[in-house]
Amino acid sequence: MGYGVAQIEELSATVNASRAEAAIAATPVDLARLGGIERPVVRARCSDTDAGEPTLASLVLRLLRDRNRTG
């Protein structure tokens, strides 16, 4: 998955028109390499860990089971 030319141009224009000193990118794509952004781009990464029950996986599975029952 990537960004189209128009999306990159719009993103660059938006960031460049801002008064921000830097842009934070939370996307797998390296936005700085795409070009056009005139600010430093800092890449953010995140992760999650279940803290106990119920877990996210168990909630999703329950939702799917319930939807299948009601058709």
> Which has more pLDDT, 4 or 2?
4
20-67 residue pLDDT tens? 999 999 888 888 888 899 999 999 988 888 889 999 999 999 999 998
Q: What is the pTM of this model?
A: 0.60
Q: How far is CA 53 from CA 10, 28, 48, 56, 69, in A?
A: 42, 29, 14, 9, 23
Q: Check residue 14 and give its pLDDT.
A: 95
* Residue given tokens 């719009």 in the structure block: 10
Provide φ and ψ at 25, rounded to 5°: -110, 120
pLDDT higher than threshold 80 for residue 1: no
Q: Is the pLDDT of residue 71 over 70?
A: no
Please answer whether residues 31 and 25 qualify as being in contact, where contact means their C-beta atoms are separated by less than 8 angstroms: yes
Q: Token pair for residue 34? A: 């795409």
Q: In the predicted model, what is the mean pLDDT of residues 9-29?
A: 93
